[in-house]
Chain A
Amino acid sequence: QKEVEQNSGPLSVPEGAIASLNCTYSDRVSQSFFWYRQYSGKSPELIMSIYSNGDKEDGRFTAQLNKASQYVSLLIRDSQPSDSATYLCAVNPAGGTSYGKLTFGQGTILTVHP
């Protein structure tokens, strides 16, 4: 079983819709969770981090964490074609220590069509 799992997609949504990206993880002691966006041929850029159960909102992005279900998601409201990218879920299995090593999912390809 993979440590961090994402649906590889592609996920296709129309412009203006809500895109929902999901991620599950296997290590129950994980404490830190991250969403990165990666455009084709570019390196990942941080979108959001979340550490506590519940929702965290930043602009059009909302991260949701449910540690009991070992599930973290990212919602993108009012999706734009510029949001088309691969979204990587990352988990720190070490529980937020100074070591900081992350485990990445394989990424979900999102396509927003006009």
Chain B
Amino acid sequence: GAVVSQHPSRVICKSGTSVKIECRSLDFQATTMFWYRQFPKQSLMLMATSNEGSKATYEQGVEKDKFLINHASLTLSTLTVTSAHPEDSSFYICSASKMTGTSNTDTQYFGPGTRLTVL
């Protein structure tokens, strides 16, 4: 299998606070994980690529100081939304690429997502 979990599934916070979202690959190792954001009725927008043991690669227009990514192990990546504001309210989804031997396959398996609401 290729199961990816996210925690929490839903979070409501006050404006100005920080929120941490965890993404775990449960039954496989993933050198690379990806973080997406999805607004209602829109497609997935890639925010950043998370690489185990190195700095994340952010897409154009995504503030790296606002969306902190840490990929501390082959099964865990975290996304921290710092000083959240109402416009950060969205559906955040992670995915992981499954390693085969010494390299990743390019199939991405998605976590169930985290719905963030900032009041």
Q: Enumerate chain A residues within 8 angstroms of B42, measured Cβ to Cβ.
A: 106
Q: Enumerate chain B residues within 8 angstroms of A36, measured Cβ to Cβ.
A: 110
Interface residues of B (CB under 8 A from A): 31-32, 34, 42-44, 46, 49, 93, 97, 103-113
A-B contact pairs, 28 of them (CB 8 A): A32-B106, A34-B107, A36-B110, A43-B93, A43-B111, A43-B112, A44-B93, A45-B110, A46-B107, A46-B108, A46-B109, A90-B108, A94-B106, A96-B106, A97-B106, A98-B31, A98-B97, A98-B103, A98-B104, A98-B106, A99-B104, A99-B106, A100-B32, A100-B97, A100-B105, A101-B49, A102-B34, A102-B108
Q: Enumerate chain B residues within 8 angstroms of A106, measured Cβ to Cβ.
A: 42-43
Q: Enumerate chain A residues within 8 angstroms of B112, measured Cβ to Cβ.
A: 42-43
